[in-house]
Structure 1
Amino acid sequence: MRTSVAVLVELVRNAGAGGHVKCWERFAEAAARDDPGVDLTIYVLGDRDTVEPLSDFVRFITLRPVLGSGPLARLLGGVDATDLAPYHPGLASRLRKHDVWHLTHSFAFARTAVRLAGRMPERPGMVVSLHTDVPVLTAAYLRQMRVPGTVAGAAAALAGRRRNRLLRACDRVLVATAPERGAVEAIAGPGRVSLLGRGVDLGRFRPDPSARARLAARYAFGDAETLVLFAGRVDASKRVMTAAEAVRRLRADGRDVRLVVAGSGAAAGPLSALLGDGVTLLGALGQGDLARVYAACDLLAFPSRSETIGNVVAEAMACGLPVVLPEVALTTTWLAAPGRDGVVVRRDDAHGWAREIAALADDPGRRREMGRAALETSRVRHRSWSRVLAEDLLPVWQEAAGRQAGRRAIS
């Protein structure tokens, strides 16, 4: 009999959804293609209740939120919407049939699961994976709304305590990178934390020598312009304005540098105000279009510190693009040899970013060499979604199902 797994992705799933939702879309595609022997249901949020089968044993179920955060998300300029209710009856009525509950956030779906598990004499195996640093994002968004720093700090601390209670309620906690492991084990307990990496689709994300000419023709880019790409949600949580200020300084120094932005969010207006015709806003892009944009640009500048791993970095490297990252960010774990297959910014302010981007803009040969090294790292070290599913997820789900069976036998 197949183990029935419920993954609770309590975010709205649509074309503009962020990396958290896209991650589970890729895992679902891999499970539908490979049939790893589980029955997989991924629960997401949307405007109406629907079921989308990907195969006989893989499906998305969309549920309407009880207390959707859509108005707040729009106020913040495109942050992913979730459900702020303390309980979701529609989800609760469905959860009992699953052997393993895999939580991925800390809002309505997760609260429902924890509350329901406390009522059940034989609760299911419970797993949680950390996809977003919710306390850091909470503080960033409140600062964006001009909330006083003390209030933002208190709200972030509250979000941290809520997350920690969730970690302790689960049998297994999955983190994206090794550096997170120690801190999470201190909360969840030793022996309960393991890694859940991310994959990259090398068929979709790859070098494309014709991409630059097509993008230049569409947006009238100059042949000599250095195209600095930022990809992701365009807001304070990703520190896009740090990249923008660095580009502004380089343009003021006379360099022919342009910021190309793939994504949408509240900072789109400030970006235009700061850079004028020195920025091109592409908006939210589908995976195919995004792959071509990576291949067309000269480097990726990604100042975000809030990522648990940052899949845009792996996607850019797979397209042969040099990546520029903050030294303190977990995104640097994609690099095999910092300085050779990507740049780590040690002075993490606009001055430091301008200096590192300038070094690449002024040296096309170094840029090409670093792009080749990034591509080599991608092909040798970065796993496919199918491999991550098989190596990181399936053993954890099977262990959790075994725990449930063991609890049932004891009772």
Structure 2
Amino acid sequence: MSGLPILSVAALVDLEQRQGAGGHVKCWERLAEAALRQPESLELTVFMSGEAERTTELGANVRCVTLPPVFSTRRLQALTGPLPDHTDLSPWHPLLARRLSEGRFNMLHTTDAFFAFSRTAERVAARTGLPLVNSIHTATPELTRLFAEQSIHKICGHGWLGRLLTQDLDLPERFKRTKLARLARHQSRCAYALVSKADEVRLASEVLPPDRVRMLRRGLNHNVFAPEKRDRAWLSARFGIPETMSVALFVGRLDPSKNLAPLVEAIRQVNGRGVGLHLFCAGDGREKAAILGRLGSSVTCPGQLGEEDLSRVYACADLLVMPSEIEVVSNVVLEGLASGLPVVVSAAGGMSHYVQPGLTGEVVGDSSARKWAEVLEALAGNPGHLAEMRQAVTSSTSHALPSWDQVLVEDLLPVWRAAVEEAEAVAMGQKLEAACRS
């Protein structure tokens, strides 16, 4: 990028920046760190939600701005129950609009298509001519379906009215389709759409030319997540897990969106058949008490862990389990692979292409506890095979995953540069046309 004009990009992440935030927020925190190493080509401002307006300078060319929401989803918790993350449902964010219209930016990057930041960016881009690029980080349509179903049952129960709304009228699926339509409209207004999976490529290509649809990978800090940190004596001393016990690691929110119920029941069944398997849940959420009650001494739930402890736990476990069926790209799966862990994922979760079944992990064909128990028992009951799989992961996968610097330089910067150059060419053509007419 040397010798080219500096890009000034506003990245819009309509979620709270907080400890324990999910993969969407963490992705942009890591990209911001990578941007610090591109001072000659990039100025990056990441907008996030927060209690008050605040600007944090991360470096000479990178900053994070938090803005208070106009209408936070916190206001709806009585209706929906606890939500894993909070966003802004307003169709317009005046403070953000002023920030984006200051003339500082030559590129707007939205990271969803549904909430206040992205909808405001659409209108600012249309008014100013700033190019708009979108990337997908959260399976919002599927999550909408799930939370709609939960909310209906919470209000109406599981009787005739609940069945009418969820089954006969199929309201959750209708809400999902509404979100998919909104995503298509947003992408159609963008210069480029960045996606992560084959089905996202197909959908985006229905509203944009195929060459306008690009892949966005997720990166890793290989200095943090590494097989060399494996130390079972440390895990035993720190958390009281016997060194002879196989450990299945889950990292993430302990809530219904992660489909934990069949995994927990599978662990109970496996241990009931005499195969020792300990579940380690690194994360918090409303299902924590139920998991502890169900598995007792066969589970450890320490809550959120700091990065150093978490990276050591990754390396010390024997396999990573990800039962979620609603994922775009799971940072957790990539961190597990980078740590040398075989991974067990749901076939419906969108992460199966990272797994070579029988070599670097397994793909569970359905979400039943029986099927999960079958897979986990075969792995935990054969420690020698697990060790071979760890070696295969370390040899074939962990070092092949890109760094966050690679993702920024190879996936994002070329798209941002192209969008800006195209917008400038259009603006120049319009000026020339106006001059000729005059």
The TM-score, its normalising length taken from structure 2, stands at 0.88
Distance apart, 1:164 and its partner CA: 1.7
- Distance in 2, matches of 1:246 and 1:266, equals 20
Q: Is the 8 A contact 1:230 1:259 kept in 2?
A: yes
- Distance in 2, matches of 1:223 and 1:212, equals 6
- Distance in 1, matches of 2:334 and 2:370, equals 25
**Of 326, 346, 349, which aligns to 1:306?**
326
- Distance in 2, matches of 1:267 and 1:141, equals 15
Q: Is the 8 A contact 1:36 1:390 kept in 2?
A: no
Stretches of structure 1 lacking an aligned partner (at least 5 in a row) = none
2:141 corresponding residue in structure 1: 135
- Distance in 2, matches of 1:77 and 1:278, equals 27
> Do structure 1's residue 350 and structure 2's residue 356 form an aligned pair?
no
SS in 2 for 1:52: strand
Distance apart, 1:350 and its partner CA: 1.2
> Do structure 1's residue 242 and structure 2's residue 262 form an aligned pair?
yes
1:386 corresponding residue in structure 2: 405
**Of 159, 171, 179, which aligns to 1:159?**
179
- CA-to-aligned-CA distance 1:142-191 (integer Å, 9 cap, x gap): 33343642232222222222222111111110001345312321243432
- Distance in 1, matches of 2:422 and 2:238, equals 56
> Do structure 1's residue 263 and structure 2's residue 283 form an aligned pair?
yes
**Of 277, 286, 291, which aligns to 2:306?**
286
Q: Which runs of 4+ in 1 moved over 6 A?
A: none
Q: CA, structure 1 residues 291+301, in 2 after alignment: closer, same or farther (shift >3 Å)?
A: same
The aligned amino acid for 1:45 is S
CA RMSD of aligned residues (A): 1.9
2:129 corresponding residue in structure 1: 123
The TM-score, its normalising length taken from structure 1, stands at 0.94
2:96 corresponding residue in structure 1: 91
- Distance in 2, matches of 1:240 and 1:204, equals 27
1:80 corresponding residue in structure 2: 85
**Of 333, 342, 359, which aligns to 2:353?**
333
Q: CA, structure 1 residues 52+40, in 2 after alignment: closer, same or farther (shift >3 Å)?
A: same
- Distance in 1, matches of 2:398 and 2:212, equals 31
2:419 corresponding residue in structure 1: 400
Distance apart, 1:198 and its partner CA: 0.7
Structure having greater relative contact order (Cα 8 Å, sep ≥ 6): 1
- Distance in 2, matches of 1:168 and 1:398, equals 19
Q: CA, structure 1 residues 258+126, in 2 after alignment: closer, same or farther (shift >3 Å)?
A: same
- Distance in 1, matches of 2:399 and 2:271, equals 36
Q: CA, structure 1 residues 63+355, in 2 after alignment: closer, same or farther (shift >3 Å)?
A: same
1:227 corresponding residue in structure 2: 247
- CA-to-aligned-CA distance 1:9-41 (integer Å, 9 cap, x gap): 010001111000000111110110243601111
- Distance in 1, matches of 2:228 and 2:76, equals 39
Superposition map of 1:7-46 within 5 A:
7-35=11-39, 37-46=41-50
1:204 corresponding residue in structure 2: 224
Paired residue total? 408
**Of 2, 9, 22, which aligns to 2:6?**
2
SS in 2 for 1:14: coil
Q: CA, structure 1 residues 143+248, in 2 after alignment: closer, same or farther (shift >3 Å)?
A: farther
Q: CA, structure 1 residues 144+247, in 2 after alignment: closer, same or farther (shift >3 Å)?
A: farther
Q: CA, structure 1 residues 407+209, in 2 after alignment: closer, same or farther (shift >3 Å)?
A: closer
1:102 corresponding residue in structure 2: 109
> Do structure 1's residue 57 and structure 2's residue 65 form an aligned pair?
no
- Distance in 2, matches of 1:370 and 1:168, equals 43
Q: CA, structure 1 residues 71+362, in 2 after alignment: closer, same or farther (shift >3 Å)?
A: farther
Structure with larger Rg: 2
1:114 corresponding residue in structure 2: 122
